[in-house]
Amino acid sequence: MRSRTPDRLCAEAVDLALAAAEDVAGPGRVGGHLGVQVEGDRVVTHFFACREDAYQGWRWAVTVARAPRAKLVTVDETVLVPGPDSLLAPSWVPWEDRLRPGDLGVGDLLPTKEDDERLEPGYTDVDPEDAEEPVGFGPGAVAQQLGLGRPRVLSPLGLDLAADRWEEHFGVRTAMAQAAPAHCVSCGFLVKIGGPLGQAFGVCANEYAPADGHMVSLGFGCGGHSEAAVMPAVPPMSAPVVDDYEIEPVRVHPEAGSVDDAEPGEELGHS
């Protein structure tokens, strides 16, 4: 059983431990003695402060030991270890757990695990290219047309996960859907999809809608619904009417006193 009382000779070997730490860190980079820790019978670790600016709160740990019935203390190892207040990097997380939607860039390859729970084996693994029948004939071509030629397809879990993601952004419980005058199921801009998810989702094709090009729940809705506010058709403008009738000139009576304009036999009046 490990003794909790440090070995006296090992605990007193502070100068030996300090010299070992300075041999690794360099002169002037090792601070004061911080204490000892019992590692086992006649095995003790000495801690010294670290004066490196980049390692605030870290400590130099020098482990010393001695053999049974021996008085000579020797150095086992010298390492730099973090202290209770040290700034540490976060724990390592596997890449498949760090990956987030949108991280995949141009040229990136995202491997899929062989036992991915989101996928399950397809109904057939016939490859149309390996079939002996002419192109467009045989079981491989039929399977490809029916969508059955894929090695793996979405599992029930994969379908549920996809439905949950789509419902979160464009689902019936969103504020947009709650304020909408009608649902997507009756909208003319909805593009239907096949498969099990087609019973609850479709693709919005209204360029003015907030969900254009996205998968939307049939219970989703927005103000861009095709039948929400149908504008009446504007009546066509009538053709302009051109008046082509001949118009007789209007005679203008001359001013009084004009001899030339007086009618024959008419005398001019005198004032």
pLDDT digit string (tens) for 143-178? 555 556 677 888 899 999 999 999 999 999 999 999
pLDDT at 135: 45
pLDDT at 215: 95
**Mean pLDDT, to the nearest integer, of 133-145?**
52
> Which helix (DSSP H) or strand (DSSP E) does residue 8 occupy?
helix 8-11
Q: In whole angstroms, what is the distance from residue 123 CA to residue 129 CA?
A: 17
pLDDT at 266: 52
Q: What is the mean pLDDT of the chain?
A: 82
Which of the four pLDDT bands, split at 50, 70 and 90, describes residue 116? confident
Which 3 state secondary structure label does DSSP give 34? strand
The more confidently predicted of residues 30 and 256 is 30
Tokens of 38: 């019992």
Q: In whole angstroms, what is the distance from residue 243 CA to residue 239 CA?
A: 13
Which of the four pLDDT bands, split at 50, 70 and 90, describes residue 29? very high
Which residues 6+ apart lie within 8 Å of 23 measured at CB? 78
58, pLDDT greater than 90: yes
203, pLDDT greater than 80: yes
The more confidently predicted of residues 26 and 234 is 26
pLDDT at 111: 79
Which 3 state secondary structure label does DSSP give 118? coil
Q: In whole angstroms, what is the distance from residue 19 CA to residue 10 CA?
A: 14
Q: In whole angstroms, what is the distance from residue 101 CA to residue 244 CA?
A: 73
- Determine the length of the chain: 271
Which of the four pLDDT bands, split at 50, 70 and 90, describes residue 64? very high
Token look-up 């390996």 returns: 130
Tokens of 199: 């019973």
Given CA atoms 158, 159, 160, 161 in this order, what sign does their dihedral have?
A: positive
Half-sphere exposure of 186 (CA within 13 A, CB side): 7
Q: What is the DSSP letter of 69?
A: T
pLDDT digit string (tens) for 76-98? 999 999 998 888 888 888 877 88
Given CA atoms 224, 225, 230, 236 in this order, what sign does their dihedral have?
A: positive
pLDDT at 30: 95
